[in-house]
Chains A and B, each alone.
Chain A
Amino acid sequence: MSAHIHLDEASIQKQTTTLNLGPTHPATHGVFQNILEMDGERIVSAVPTVGYIHRAFEKIAERRPYYQITPLTDRLNYCSSPINNMGWHITVERLLGIKTPKRVDYLRVIIMELSRIADHLVCNSVIGVDTGALTSFVYVFEFREHIYEIFEAVCGSRLTTNIGRFGGFERNFPQEAFDKINKFLEAFPRGMKEFESLLTRNRIFMERTMGVGGISAERALNYSFTGPNLRAAGVDYDVRVAQPYSSYEDFDFNIPVGTTGDVYDRFLVRNQEIWESVSIIKQALEKIAALEAADPSQKEVFYAKEADKYHLPPKEDVYTKMEALIFHFKMVMGEIEVLPGEIYSAVEGGNGEVGYYLISDGGRTPYRLHFRRPCFIYYQAYPEIVKGSLLSDAVVTMSSLNLIAGELDA
């Protein structure tokens, strides 16, 4: 191992101190390692090392039938797995030319916005933890739990959800899920206000986060930042608006932007996005109610009929009908082929633009699948952002960037 340690010349001359932060440090929230050159409390340079939990998802995907790739996407940004799942489904649907019914789109929007709220809650409350305010973290985790209960009602699992199928969902939402969504929408605003009242105008929190870890809009764009980190720097780029998917064009919502791109701005942008997500979920529920009022048969629409070939038949049919049994077998054995083609499709994930570059040669598995993982791309700006700042500020900056180790290392 000693062959890998290259001390800086200044460190050997005892002018600076080399400090190893991570990979399993309680303040890094995941496997992140940084070798810092410190001049007292100030950071002279930082060298991040990544790849500790690399699992070769792109290679694995070249051998898996399409529906078995959904669980791989769960494990990228595991704070908002449903967005990744649906991003992957939307990519394949676009390649196949499947148009999903409006009700499916709206149901997807509800799930995606719920996971965005969960993602932002984790990130923002952890900024509080890193500045020494543990209380707010405990307050909002109750609501993250409620969101996970909704996922559980829809698909049976909580964290790595594997939610939905090509063309829609594997089964219709049970009434329990809608009840839980309504209960959440009723209780959450109060909790969120409480959370904001603990931090947003808190003098200590403001002084710890304002002017810390800032990046200009120009540098952020040059570093290919996306998501809340880019918007905090003042660029109003959001995939949901720029290139809408899943009928986002039907919704009325704002894109909050910041000015300085510092930790405080990122915090504010995320908080504001949570409120926008709440409003989007309410709109989606109204739209679904309107669809069902106009045509009661809409209540049973939960996947696109034209995606039949890629959608497991209902279990009772599998047991009683020959065709359904054959289809079930073919699908589970991964013998369903996908048309040749090449596509890049992106969705707005919890921490930025999650993109899927898929090349199909017509076989049962992708010829090549590349994930655009937003935090892998913006983490490279970390040394530039923390240069010259205090060690304690570097920790806050790291958590405010919403780095997720699973996504970083793929």
Chain B
Amino acid sequence: MTHEQIIETLEAAFAGQLSDCDTAHGISSITIPAAANLKVLQFLYDSEDLQFRFLTDLTAVHYPNRTNEELCVVYHLHSLYLNKRLRVKLYVPVAAPKVFTASKLFSGANWMERETFDFFGVEFVGHPNLKRILNVDEMDYFPMRKEYPMEDPTRIDKDDEMFGRGGTIC
């Protein structure tokens, strides 16, 4: 089964809900509505033709300029049966970043979701133990969001304006 056929199968099952389907660098990518994530993951898991039963990776990306869909949650699934990978994306607003947890379907999603919560603040609804994992519990912000610069913005000794990159550090 080719990447195109995988996307066709999905489009047949979720008519009108898929967007941005493309295949690049040997992996297909689809975007789904945030509320449909469990339905899509369950379909991919159960389908005898697809068998996407291995969750390779789960993370998020912050796009501050995309109004009302600032946070992108990315699942990387792997079908050992087809030996194909699939990237499933969904967007949620940073003001209310709620996504249903996949930890019932994949035990491995538990810590991956905790890490995503820890760094991006994505709230996984129904997660059994959604608390910080790598950062300290007292932390009151989500450090991987783009509004937090990596270094102290008040430092001027590292300002690299003279290298033609503009004066801001972010």
Contacts and interface: CB of A to CB of B under 8 A. Distances in A.
Interface of A: 4, 50-51, 54, 56, 58-60, 62-63, 94-95, 219, 221-225, 235, 237, 242-243, 333, 335, 341-346, 353, 355, 357, 359, 364, 367-368, 370, 372, 376-381, 409-410
A51 B26 CA distance: 33
Given A50-B134, A343-B24, 14 more contacts: A51-B135, A51-B136, A58-B119, A223-B108, A225-B108, A242-B80, A243-B85, A344-B57, A344-B76, A364-B165, A368-B61, A372-B76, A376-B111, A409-B134
Given A58-B144, A242-B83, A333-B163, A345 B25 contact: yes
A51 B133 contact: yes
Given A221-B53, A345-B25, A357 B74 contact: yes
A377 B112 contact: yes
Residue from A219, A333, A368, A376 with most neighbouring chain B CB atoms (10 Å): A368
Contacts of A370: 57, 59
Contacts, number: 97
Contacts of B111: 376-377, 379-380
Given A355-B76, A372-B56, A222 B107 contact: yes
Contact of B108 (A341, A377, A410): A377
Interface string B49-68: 00001111101011000000
Contact size range, B: 35 or more
A95 B134 contact: no
A63 B150 CA distance: 7
B137 interface: yes
A265 to B, nearest CB: 19
Residue from B53, B85, B108, B165 with most neighbouring chain A CB atoms (10 Å): B108
25 contacts: A51-B136, A54-B134, A59-B144, A59-B150, A219-B107, A221-B54, A221-B80, A224-B54, A235-B80, A243-B26, A333-B163, A342-B25, A342-B29, A344-B57, A344-B87, A357-B59, A367-B61, A372-B56, A372-B57, A372-B76, A377-B108, A381-B107, A381-B108, A409-B134, A410-B134
B24 A342 contact: yes
B134 A341 contact: no
Interface string B95-134: 0000000000011101110010001000000000000011
Contacts of A219: 107
A223 B27 CA distance: 22
